[in-house]
A and B are shown apart, each in its own frame.
Chain A
């Protein structure tokens, strides 16, 4: 029989975690995983979704953003700073699961779950996100890049809780985009996805981030693609070359949703569209959120 603790404060929750309890916020991964028999219900659960300061979005002193780990995807996509300055994250948060999943599921959960197909991770990688972890021993701030080590595995220690995701201020002239290819519209796991962030200064790309989703054991950046874009004019040749670099770096799986060959072929397509979306936004053009609907032809 499982025990369920609903602590009033963070310290009490951290003590519970130190004692072996597992955290639950939205439960959108936990409940589905248990139902599918991927893991048993933990003996001790500690509810964290009502912890003070755990949920909500605050502006950082440097113009960045601090997103509480318990913030729902729906709250993220509704935030004006996110939709203006971290558009790629908005693209992703807008298409995670179903409306119910987005109302309940949290950003911290999506990061901690470390699914190779997690939608929010690629845009967070592009945004140079930092993961703030707390335990009774104190706080650790870890770059998201490298945080996931394998499918469902991260650097998070069992007694640690992700309490926030920090996003540094975006550089002027930069913009981001996330798109995914799916089997059906909505409530879908990404077959493949890509995030991109480009900074344009005087017609040149002066910063580039490209990350791929469901194309490797973890969502990860593709430095080869970023190098191709950096210093380029962001034209079709550079974008196509960068997209091909992602396809070359991809190590996709075969499953019932798609074959590895199709995923690899699509890696280039989604990357090209994600980069294209980011460039368009960097030039001040409008690409409606979520970009997937626009760039993948949904009515």
Chain B
């Protein structure tokens, strides 16, 4: 199999920039916080300085005296009617602050400056409580609780999202005495793990740790809420899912859905974070004050108070026989869910940690544990970067101990379609085999034995199980022959371009003649939240269905006009023509103008594509990192990077490659630099981009993006979602490259120069059992 060729002009597979590329690159795009709103009030957050404290009282007199300050709102002032154990129901801390950085009050003023001055003059009287920071220690029944509220929990309450995977029966969890800080618990078991490991010729035991990581999008969270005359609210928000926001806001504020209108503003990046963070604050303040209120976070607020990826510990025991057959995987995963556990992701990691590999036996236990850190959220492929770092590092080490080529080891143990995932779900068709073929052929991999001393190449495989959702899209032929698509799906990553191509292909016109309207939540048909690599895969099907229905109506009309059976007509390059007689064709634009977009008997030439939930279509990637390690300083320089991804079918290769490169860079951030750090009292000490180190362009080599196509049976034209998989597997590739270069095995992210130097100095003693 060879990589597909993508001619520039092709509708499917043509190289086109995303439609809003110019606006984004030139900075002319208007984000939520840029919009002018008459009578707008600006809010600034008062953040808790304590990681855990009882809030005794707030002194607001000084703040209210600042000219321009309109109000200081506390939890009691927000008209919240709904109840739930999620941050959206408690956007301001009430009696208890559970992390340093938690919003306690909202200072609302006529100007952002006055709001900031006011926020600096709110005094919080609080009584410090015991701070829980070590997630593993917090599991012990004798541990203090991260939140007093936890005592109200009724036994083991497990909340999690599965992002489309899971749902199969979990194994019975072994009886363990656990504290109420443990809010998530998952167990997958198959076969006789003890026997499988005992019968192994080589067993690797290692403890991998990953830090809290911030999504670091360009645009901080922002929302603008405007009260309406009917007692409802209009919200403009940088959100990944406007219909999700609308339904949740109606519950939070006890409003009928008809009174909640939500409009998505152009996203300046989100990566999983932009879900109901600023929305309840803005809506609550607007309803309380009866005036438009904007909550636009500063970078500091965004880093301290939103929903980064959680820190994790992954203890793995993996075995293999001398011939390279994997035997058993025993894993114990502890994910720190911080102060809010609604997006706890250990359930996803518990499945992904087995990788796409075949195990004779496995036993995976995963725990989500509340601590006094910022509440966790989703970050691109949640659980995937952590799980793949651990398992792909372990496989590489296993290969080294067995004396088997790491790629060959993976080939021998690759799951086939129908083999069980960790939770028993049968693996759908996945593209890992095709990716490994590409890796094997790549000169960087083939030539890795001839590198100079201090350099190495590492391989990491990433898998994202995928997500799927029902969705509806409508399509309408305009009087000028263009097609208008209406969806409520927020364009987070350039999916508008993909929708244009899919609709153009289905209808028979050029992509630039398709207009995609992202409608407000209350207007659009059923539209899932953008996330989990759901949009191209699930909504793309609806786009094709809608355009296909509209095309059928067009052909019926053309049939009547041309007196030819619809079945004998085709639409090619915007011209409806009889098969075999292209010279008799009539342009779509002509037909559209003739009927003003109407067809037979005035029937509108429209279509509605409503599709059910498709089957899972996992995405997969192969990463090759080429590094040089400075043996004296531990500095790692990434000299080259190759990312190979199965896109199923590349509808918009330029957009896919953009996703791949972005994911690879974020993966390098996980690998080498990024970490939210906290001191021993729970104070965040990386509250700005001075201290929180995102990758700089100068540290990133050219990234070679190669697409392979292993069609997804249910995907539009075979396409798969591509958003998450590029960030899964990258950190392992770098760790494996460092090991190849130095012999030192890093098991802690990020692999900063001091860590690398320490590992080199410690030799193989570092953590290996």
The reply to whether A266 and B633 contact each other, CB–CB distance below 8 Å, is: yes
**Min CB distance, B583 to chain A, in Å?**
58
A183 surroundings in chain B (CB, below 8 A) = 673, 693, 752-753
Whether B698 is near chain A, meaning CB under 8 Å from some CB there, is yes
Q: Is B677 an interface residue (CB 8 A)?
A: yes
Contact (A262, B695) CB under 8 Å given A297-B630, A299-B701: no
Binds A, one of B214-222, B306-314, B538-546, B682-690: B682-690
User: Which A residues are in CB contact (< 8 Å) with B686?
Assistant: 256
Convert A121-159 into 0s and 1s, putting 1 for each residue whose CB lies closer than 8 angstroms to a CB of B: 000000000000000000000000000000000000000
Whole-angstrom CA separation of A259 from B673 in the bound complex: 15
Contact B754 A259 (CB under 8 A): yes
Q: Is the CB of A297 within 8 A of B628?
A: yes
Residue from the set B632, B701, B752, B757 with the largest chain A CB neighbour count within 10 Å: B632
* Closest Cβ neighbor of A259 among chain B residues: B754
Tell me if A256 and B635 are in contact (CB < 8 A): no
Decide if B632 touches A269 in the complex (CB within 8 Å). yes
Which B666-691 residues have a C-beta within 8 angstroms of A? Answer: 673, 677, 685-686, 688, 690-691
CB of B693 within 8 A of CB of A184, answer yes
Contact, CB under 8 Å: A296 / B701: no
Q: A183-B752, A184-B673 are contacts. A299–B637 as well, Cβ < 8 Å?
A: yes
Question: What residue of chain A has the Cβ atom nearest to residue B688's Cβ?
Answer: A36
Q: Which chain A positions have C-beta within 8 A of B698?
A: 184-186, 298
- Give the residues in chain B near A184, CB-CB below 8 Å: 673, 693, 695-696, 698-699
Specify which of A184, A186, A262 lies most central, judged by the most chain B CB atoms within 10 Å of its CB.
Answer: A184
Tell which of A36, A186, A265 has the most Cβ of chain B within 10 Å. A265
Chain A neighbourhood of B685, CB < 8 A:
256
Residues from chain B with a CB closer than 8 A to the CB of A189 are 690
Q: Mark B608-649, 1 if CB is under 8 A from A, else 0.
A: 000000000000000000001010110101010000000000
Main secondary structure of the interface of A (DSSP, over half): loop
Q: For residue A181, which residues in chain B have a CB less than 8 angstroms away from its CB?
A: 633, 635, 753
Given contact pairs A185-B699, A186-B698, A189-B690, A296 touches B754 in the complex (Cβ within 8 A)? no
B:26-46 near A, CB below 8 Å: none
Interface of B is mostly: loop
Chain B residues within an 8 Å CB radius of A185: 696, 698-699
Query: A176-188 vs B: 1/0 string, CB under 8 Å?
Result: 0000010111110
Partner pick for A256 among B630, B633, B677, CB 8 A cutoff: B677
- Chain B residues with Cβ below 8 Å from A187 are 696
The reply to whether the CB of A100 lies closer than 8 angstroms to some CB of chain B is no
Within 8 A of A (CB), among B692-720: 693, 695-696, 698-699, 701
CB distance from B685 to the nearest CB of A (A): 5
A237 at the interface (CB under 8 A from B): no
Residue of A nearest to B454 (CB): A297
Given the complex of chains A and B, what is the CA–CA distance between A256 and B693 in angstroms?
Answer: 10
**A266 — nearest CB in chain B belongs to which residue?**
B633
Contact between A186 and B632, CB atoms less than 8 A apart: no
| A8 close to chain B: CB less than 8 A | no
A103 at the interface (CB under 8 A from B): no
A258 within 8 A of B: yes
Contact present for A296 and B630 (CB under 8 Å):
yes
Contacts of B635 in A (CB 8 A): 181, 296-297
Give the complex CA separation of A119 and B635 in angstroms.
Answer: 20
Contact pattern, A 202-241, Cβ under 8 Å of B = 1, otherwise 0: 0000000000000000000000000000000000000000
Name the distance in Å between B116's Cβ and chain A's nearest Cβ.
Answer: 11
Cβ-defined contact, B633 with A269, below 8 A? yes
In whole Å, how far is A89's beta carbon from the nearest beta carbon of chain B?
Answer: 21
Say which residue of B677, B688, B696, B752 sits within 8 Å of A186 (CB atoms). Answer: B696
- Name the distance in Å between B187's Cβ and chain A's nearest Cβ: 37
Residue of B nearest to A269 (CB): B632
Chain B residues whose CB sits within 8 angstroms of the CB of A298 once the complex forms: 637, 698
A296 to B633 CA separation, bound complex (whole angstroms):
9
Considering the complex, give the chain B residue whose CB is closest to the CB of A181.
Answer: B633
Q: Which residues of B contact A256 (CB under 8 A)?
A: 677, 685-686, 691
Q: Which residue of B lies closest to A183 (CB)?
A: B693
* A275-B126 Cα distance, complex, nearest whole Å: 54
In whole angstroms, how far apart are the Cα atoms of A181 and B632 in the complex?
Answer: 11
User: Mind listing 6 A-B residue pairs with CB under 8 Å?
Assistant: A258-B753, A262-B753, A297-B630, A298-B637, A299-B628, A299-B639
Lowest 8 A-B CB distances belong to which pairs?
Answer: A185-B699, A185-B698, A262-B754, A186-B698, A269-B632, A256-B691, A297-B637, A184-B699
* Contacts from B to A (Cβ < 8 Å): 628, 630, 632-633, 635, 637, 639, 673, 677, 685-686, 688, 690-691, 693, 695-696, 698-699, 701, 752-754, 757
Given A262-B757, A269-B633, A299-B628, 6 new contacts (CB under 8 A): A184-B693, A184-B695, A184-B698, A256-B686, A259-B754, A299-B701
